[in-house]
């Protein structure tokens, strides 16, 4: 697999088939990219599992966090790595020890480890490096095209919007996971 350029059907195939995603390195801080990605994918119907030893046992966006992949009590389809590249081999080794094994190892933007990719592929897993599933989902679904972003996807069909469409991005939104976001609460002004 050429990890410098992924064909759209390869990425689309992954995003259409995985249902349960374990995010290694998930953060509870609402200004961190891992928080945004977890929230976005959760709102798109994926079963998200936060994995972070510092959050183990806590609730993150309505989902219980686990210390490590082996603590997750259900099958995982995809492992989304939000840790530095140097940890990727260790995380892939942990994923390969799971029964059943995940189908995909996905390394986030700026995360690339060719040794980890070779190990995963040698064991039958698909690999994506230096990409964000949140961005790829938005691009391939034409969702981000509504914001004026060139998605490189040509279609004459209007994209079907999920929920309330682009409007859910307003600061005063209530998330599909329940409750207002911290940013919305901070932005609220008291009634006078």
pLDDT score recorded for residue 158: 53
At residue 136, φ and ψ (nearest 5 deg) are -65, -40
Give the residue carrying structure tokens 């060139």: 150
157 prior amide bond cis, ω within 30: no
Q: What's the pLDDT tens digit per position in 118-156?
A: 999 999 999 999 999 998 988 887 776 555 545 455 444
Give me the pLDDT at residue 139, please. Answer: 81
Q: How far is Cα 171 from Cα 81, in angstroms, rounded to an integer?
A: 28
Which pLDDT value is given to residue 5?
92
Report the alpha-carbon distance of residue 176 to residue 11 in Å, rounded: 25
> What is the pTM assigned to this prediction?
0.77
pLDDT at 141: 79
Contact, 125 vs 14, CB < 8 A?
A: no
179: its two tokens: 């409750």
Interatomic CA distance for residues 41 and 179, integer angstroms: 17
Sequence-ordered list of residues with C-beta below 8 angstroms from that of 105, at least 6 positions apart, any chain: 78, 79, 81, 91, 92, 95, 116, 117, 120, 125, 126, 127, 128
Rounded Cα distance, 117 and 3, in Å: 9
How far apart are the C-alpha atoms of 69 and 79, rounded to whole Å? 9
Q: Mark the ranges of the chain whose per-residue pLDDT is less than 70.
A: 144-192
């Amino acid at each position: 697999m050429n990890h410098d350029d992924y064909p759209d059907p390869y990425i689309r195939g992954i995003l259409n088939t995985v249902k349960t995603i374990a995010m290694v390195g998930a953060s509870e801080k609402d200004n961190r990219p891992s928080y945004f990605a977890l929230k976005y994918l959760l709102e798109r119907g994926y079963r998200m599992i936060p994995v972070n030893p510092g959050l183990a046992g806590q609730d993150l966006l309505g989902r219980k966090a686990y210390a490590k992949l082996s603590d997750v009590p259900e099958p995982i389809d995809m492992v989304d790595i939000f840790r530095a590249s140097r940890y990727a081999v260790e995380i892939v080794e942990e994923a390969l020890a799971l029964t059943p094994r995940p189908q995909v190892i996905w390394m986030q933007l700026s995360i690339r480890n060719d040794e980890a990719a070779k190990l995963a592929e040698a064991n039958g897993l698909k690999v994506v490096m230096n990409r964000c599933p949140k961005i790829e989902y938005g691009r391939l679904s034409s969702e981000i095209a509504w914001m004026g972003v060139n998605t490189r996807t040509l279609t004459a069909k209007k994209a079907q919007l999920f929920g309330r469409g682009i409007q859910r991005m307003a600061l005063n939104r209530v998330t599909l996971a329940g409750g207002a976001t911290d940013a919305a609460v901070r932005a609220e002004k008291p009634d006078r």
